[in-house]
C-alpha cells in the first residue's frame, strides 16, 4: 500500500484506540496485513527509477499521508501518541530506505526487504488504487465505532 494509506490507518487507530501500547502495536501490525491486500504502490519498479525520482515520489506520498491523517485525526488528540502510531504504521517501509538508496544488502535491511517483497499483493492501476481507497475507508468506518480505554 502507499504510505498515504498506511498513515491514514495509523491515524485512525490512534484516534480510536485510547491505550497507547495497544494503539502503537496495532499500527505496527496493520502494515503487513494491509500489504497482503492487492494494491498499487509508488515503489514498484524502484530499480528502474532514478533515486531522485523514487525519493520525490516516496516523500510526496508520505507527506500526503501525514497531512491527511493529521487533518482527519491528529488535531483531536495527543500529538506524541498520534505521531507514534503514524511511525508504527510506516516504519516497515522506512526500514527499506537503506536497501533502496544506499544498497545496504545485509541484515536487517535485506531481511525486511525480502519480507516486504513477498507479502505484497499487487494490482495494476486503477484497480490497485481502488482497493486501497475501499480498504482504508472501511477500516476508518469500523474504527469510528470502536473506542477502547
Each residue's pLDDT tens digit in the chain (149 positions)?
Answer: 999 999 999 999 999 999 999 999 999 999 999 999 999 988 778 788 899 999 999 999 999 999 999 999 999 999 999 999 999 999 999 999 999 999 999 999 999 999 998 999 999 999 999 999 999 999 999 998 876 54
pLDDT at position 136 is 98
Q: How far apart are CA 112 and CA 99, in angstroms?
A: 9
End-to-end CA distance of the chain: 29
Q: How is residue 39 annotated by DSSP?
A: B
CB atoms within 10 A of CB 20: 14
The rounded distance, in Å, linking the Cα atoms of 148 and 90 is 23
| Prediction pTM value | 0.94
pLDDT at residue 42, as a whole number:
82
CA pair distance 6, 92, nearest whole angstrom: 10
Q: Coil, strand, or helix at residue 148?
A: strand
Instruction: State whether residue 1 is helix, strand or coil.
Output: coil
Q: Which residues have C-beta within 8 Å of that of residue 105, sequence separation ≥ 6? A: 99
Q: For residue 146, what pLDDT is reported?
A: 75
C-alpha cell at 131: 482497493
Amino acid at each position: 500500500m502507499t504510505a498515504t494509506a498506511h498513515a491514514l490507518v495509523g491515524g485512525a487507530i490512534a484516534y480510536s484506540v485510547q491505550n497507547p501500547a495497544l494503539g502503537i502495536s496495532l499500527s505496527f501490525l496493520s502494515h503487513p496485513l494491509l500489504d497482503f491486500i492487492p494494491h498499487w504502490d509508488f515503489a514498484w519498479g524502484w530499480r528502474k527509477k532514478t533515486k531522485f525520482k523514487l525519493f520525490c515520489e516516496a516523500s510526496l506520498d508520505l507527506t500526503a499521508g501525514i497531512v491527511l491523517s493529521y487533518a482527519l485525526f491528529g488535531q483531536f488528540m495527543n500529538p506524541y501518541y498520534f505521531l507514534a502510531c503514524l511511525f508504527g504504521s510506516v516504519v516497515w517501509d522506512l526500514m527499506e530506505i537503506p536497501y533502496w538508496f544506499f544498497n545496504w544488502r545485509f541484515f536487517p535491511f535485506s531481511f525486511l526487504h525480502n519480507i516486504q517483497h513477498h507479502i505484497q499483493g499487487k494490482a495494476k492501476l486503477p484497480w490497485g488504487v481502488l482497493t486501497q481507497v475501499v480498504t482504508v475507508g472501511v477500516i476508518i468506518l469500523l474504527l469510528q465505532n470502536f473506542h477502547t480505554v
